[in-house]
Structure 1
């Protein structure tokens, strides 16, 4: 019997005055201190532009955050994995002197599928993707993934909406596309489980264009994006973790940018374009900053909470109102030792039902 030492559950959904900045006109104000906002600041700093990053929370990093465990050590309550084709993230880690280590990926993965429990080797066919299912269902899953990978090759990764079939694919949900494949019960369960693990959303909540574009973006200049790359651990998007936790990347980048250029605990109320063409960014506490340009580095639903004067184009406003972000809960259980390894398991499990849909070994 193995004693559960600690259990941490986290639900994930998504006023400062800077001396000398309020009275000056900056080149750019960046709203949002996640990796998008910090990366924009890094680019501006390299070009010699003046800027201010404004973040509503009391920390940088956005959807990456470390948490201290009650018994000592840390865990990541947000994003935690890197893949070998995620060049920008890998280069940033190298630039900041942050080390990576490989996610434990030895032994068998466990699948709970349509009421049955199975196991498959973590280093076998498709790695984390396909369980030990009947040959017909397996062939269907392989065929569907091949079709998705082929579609992804036609995507303009930088501007997916300009791809040849963008309009056609954006009219259909990924779930509807899967319906047309006439998968077996097990085959469909595999695709549904893989989709929720990747996107934190059900297939019917995703447009086909978004799904295919996301697959395409899993590659780099030398390797095309594939569905398998998104779902796999070894050689895939879950291959690496950050020594010290992913939030350390944001912390070190913020240190490099200089905290005098970052305003935390500063929710923005209004962005107003003035008659002289400059912008006034007003915080909820009334503090105002002026800049020549503004970068809104936030998800559409959160960006839509800001008042814009003049208003954003109607299509953009509707996007902010109607787009729904993926929603997932994350729980961390700690034990004295990773006992599953001695039993021949990787610690990775995926289920098509129940509260827990996916697990990983977070041990250092």
Structure 2
């Protein structure tokens, strides 16, 4: 057998997927971050209409359809108050590809990428695939990313730092003051800030803010997607936006890796972004109720958990053996170390499931905690 690339040998299969695929069919799965709501009907209808009309039979522009990019630009004007040129948007195969092209286009061999630890698993892996050096930094006690910590880790080799708010796996939401600081750091140190805003619409306490609102240079690239906000994980439609020069470089990666995002998904995403937004509010309100239910259940189980202010994850501190005990008893949670070395002693659970299942899971988790204490 021939050998494999050193870049691929530096990474492994996601710990989230390993736990998920090892679970039994009857397990209550709190491991995978996927909304349990259906894709809104008007979004599905838009895709069907596009398919039946034949408009999706060929490639779209590498960047995506003009109308979708106009809808994304209008979304940023509406939600961030920032004017975005539709030409400075690339529609991607989900937020995952958007992260990939952002990192690949800006990171050389030996370049450092700073990101939160615990943090989303792709930040480390995509940095390694680009030949870069991952630089994970610990979070505050409330699991938010501290701008001062980020700034302390910047060196002459730093190419980028990643901000994720609301955050996976912690549910933490960056304050407006912190987001302003991230923008300042990008400006003053002339280093790229990659802002992962996939969960922006699910904020329960406070409000979502983006570094793109405050940066005075072109050193911010924003990654987003329809996956979570519109329950479209399977549609694989995201986007990345930044300055014209940065988009040009990211497009060079995207056009060879992907050519263009799925055409039916582009028409569905356009309907999601331009159609009624009440479905997003309904999901957010439901997640907030579930968040409160989970916090109460964890407290009753004697498990300390920083209050997640957004997304649909909780990350309690847990005793040794807790995760394995939960899985053995039929509840899938993910060990915190799957998200970085500073995640040790925590577990991540997703509450994007029905309240009855959450009640049952919390009972089992309390029993598991008692069993390993």
TM-score, scaled relative to structure 1: 0.26
Which protein shows a greater Rg?
1
Richer in helix (by share): 2
Larger strand proportion of the pair: 1
Q: Calculate the TM-score normalised by the size of structure 2.
A: 0.26
Structure with the bigger RCO (C-alpha within 8 Å, sep 6+) is 1
